[in-house]
Structure 1
Amino acid sequence: MFCFIFFIMYLSCSKPSSNIQELKSSKPKHYIFLIHGIGGDRSHFGKMKDALIKVLSEENKQEKYSIHHIEYDTKNNQKDIEDFSQVMNNRIQNTVGSNLPDSDRISIIMHSQGGLVGSIWLFRSMQKLDNYAYDLIDNIDCFITLGTPFWGAKTAIFAKKLKDDFSKSGLELPIPFGTKQLEYMEFGSDWNYHMRTSIIKSNSIEHVTEQRKKIRFLNIAAKADVLTPLGLFVGGGSKYEDDSAVPLPSSRFNFIYNHNNIMKEINWAPYILVDALHLSPLPDSPNFYGLVQIPQTCIENSYCKHPTFQIIWNTILNRVQSNQYNEPKNIHSFMVDINLVLPAEINRKDIKIDLYNEKGLNLENSQIYFSKTELYSQGTNLSKKYQNMIRFYFNGSFKDSSLLDSENILVRISGDNLLTKDIPLQVKRGYSSFLDTIMESKQE
């Protein structure tokens, strides 16, 4: 009897001890979320989930990895990327739960519009807005975007126009691109303006700056070399610097802006350029790799030749430091984005923008040019939210003969009953430049 009681006591004592030991030896968790772009779903990532789980588990046995897709209804005409950022917020919170241990980490890999959804989620979480996940910010590790049109895309303008034309004819174009989403991704959209100005302001917010420094950002952009022959036809130059959907300068989160006639630069994320298509019809073909469409061969060989897979898993394992990313060479393209705040009595359609070199001479005397043949490379966008705002956008290139990395231009703004302004702005290879200014009426 005594032996039996002793045995029961032993079991009751040893079980908690075992649990404690198991708790002590449990691995930190690393949650990885994959977010697709407009018109997409989880299939756009190919075999990334399986390939990542395999290589990360083999290369780092100190963490337990789990990978999750975040999907949203991109064909819905009534929803926009802000709605989808809430979907993302709920999905992440439901997956990781509350009171996440400090040792657990979260990484996010986003393709195309998914990067806009993720950026809104991150930015709102940092600023403690609404019910966003501020309590998870310290757990964020990697924030990787691939082919994200931060500052707009010509394809969005084209698709929106196509949908509008069909709608006027009483027809619904059967494409999975929601109208509001396309509006967000147009050049000079209200969302672009809000994003830029919020980033500029947040650069001086101490807690946002400190949080940002803890997150490992990376922008991966692509230019499809297989499309190079289109350069002369599309842009008037020898290069086609596009992944078939997003211009290179738009896929870079960092940008240049004019602040009180002083050029400043937002510098949050390293940037790397690869040879790939935005989405490929033949993703298993070496000549037609898609940015995030990871082929079966990458499961079998983690060092496969896909242009982004090794970059992604090495970044997650923190084997590549930001200063190891070399600035891409031989980029020609750049973007200019201008926002004007007008006096109430001025007609927005009467405004004129002229671009000159820094001495006020024609651009023929500079190292840059703006294509006159490329569709949607220049234009205006009347703000829908602010009746006194108008935006102008220009896509340009450095001449093939130029050895300069940047050049200063002069932006001349004029209009009926408007005081003319000459404002300097720097343009730089592979960057977008932003000018935001308040205009004044002529004095009687």
Structure 2
Amino acid sequence: MEFFKTLTLPQVLAHLTDSGITAAHFETVSLLDALGRIAASDCLAPEDMPMFDRSTVDGYAIIGRESAGASEAIPGFFQLAGESLMGEAIEQQLQSGQAVYVPTGGMLPPGADAMVMIEFTEKMDHETLLVYKPSPPGAHISYRGDDVRKGDIVVAAGRRIDSYDIGMLAGAGYDTVCVYRKPKVAVISTGDEVRPVGEPITFGQIYDVNGYTISARLLELGCDVVEKALVSDNYEMLRETVETSLAKADIVILSGGSSVGTRDFTARVIESFEGGRLITHGIAIKPGKPTIVGKIDDKFIIGLPGHPASALIIFNAVVKPLIYQLMPHAPTPFVIEALLSENVHASPGKDTFQMVQLYREGSSWHCKPIYAKSGMMSLLATASGYIHMTNEKEGLSAGTAVDVYLLQEVRL
């Protein structure tokens, strides 16, 4: 039997960091397609926003000081002098004692410096407006450039664009945005016992949980899953699928086929390619020791364990840092400090990852370890996150403050 060539987690991460893998190139996409993408350059406002002084209410534009002292008992009198039409510029100069009707969002006439809300006015006749409440200069007005000045950054380089950013970009007139290309990843599930979802299965078979879980995580991180394949335990078929995936992916992820069993071909496939080499066949980590990390030319091949929880742990510990090297300005993992509800044991000499569930108790966060076998899918759905105990730890005592790494990315 061939023994694992095992590295520690820090050693593996050092290989990934020193690999020379570089950030993805950028591309220009339509505005809506920019949702969830990372801006590759600063998007600057080409003009002031708003581009003109406008009203924030339905009412009348006036010279504010002329409404001083107005009340229901002694209203102010103004001469009606037309209206400002939506979407049209108004060039009419407002004279002393005049009032011009302006709808919400409409342009103020030159000379006006206040808006009086329509509910505090009354038309006495076709020419006279009564004002029952004073509106000081600046009241109910959004001045040119109040929102954004010309040349200001609307969306900064490195920001993951959300729906609110889309609104800002639309307001600035952007119909396309320069973004970083998504990392392209291929996901290959292996095993005679693994069947596609939607097909009937028999005893001894399982559905392709890992293929869908890992693909979904990649999509959540902003990757492009360019290949999702399911291959039986057949060396030639697996090698052919890996070769096809290498032609279109930056990273290839395999699930299953990473142990030293006689029908596990991942390591053999990697080494069969010219320029293929194993970095490690095993990581000193729990769970997930039978993990393969290799390279074919300049592309990484990661062989994940077959058990879903183990595969997810390795994905977060190894694959995600690798992906983030292809994503400039990648988000920082979101961590919550919590108190352990009970003792947790670790495996000396191994980095140990323990799934936990967060809960509030008073003003503090607490976390409860979740114990389940690594093949149990319910562990993935019930866990809030995990704690990481480095290889020199033998465990942690109840009441210890720990960092809980959330399974989902959160942007603050």
TM-score, normalising length from structure 1? Answer: 0.20
Query: Which structure has the highest strand share of the two?
Result: 2
Structure showing greater radius of gyration is 2
Query: Which structure has the highest helix share of the two?
Result: 1
